[in-house]
Amino acid sequence: MIPTVVVGSARDIVEECGVARFLFTDFPLGNPFGKPWDKEMQSSIMDMALALLQSAWQGRTTIQTPFTWSEDETWRRSFMHVSQDQLEEYKKLGDVRRAEQAKVKKI
């Protein structure tokens, strides 16, 4: 058995998967170790993950970091937001991708 720690967001999904050790960061998806270029935050999160690896005495252990992404919660409203005009553009791009995939399947 190889001991592991998952560091990430999407707490509901990760906990549903039943991982052994989970260090939860309440950050935008794709940023599990914190803000880009914030080496101090990133190092602290790594230290917390390693400490969790050593200290968790039972499976399905979740610990939350004390860090916040910003002073307020406005990032939640705009993160991955798709406006109405973008919706049409993304639909067209999706149609093109599906058509290309259909061509490949015929080969």
Whether pTM > 0.85 for this model: the answer is: no
What is the token pair recorded at 43? 């190092």
Is the confidence at residue 83, as pLDDT, over 90? no
> What are the beta bridge partners of residue 62?
22
> What are the beta bridge partners of residue 7?
23
Helices marked H in the chain — which ranges? 11-17, 39-55, 74-78, 84-106
Phi-psi region of 80 (alpha: psi -120 to 50; beta: other; left: phi over 0): left
Per domain, the residue ranges of the chain are: 6-106
Is the confidence at residue 49, as pLDDT, over 90? yes
Q: Cα-Cα-Cα-Cα dihedral of 7, 11, 16, 22, to 10°?
A: 30
Q: What is the pLDDT of residue 23?
A: 98
- Read off the DSSP letter of residue 61: E
Is the confidence at residue 80, as pLDDT, over 80? no
State percent of the chain over pLDDT 70. Answer: 100
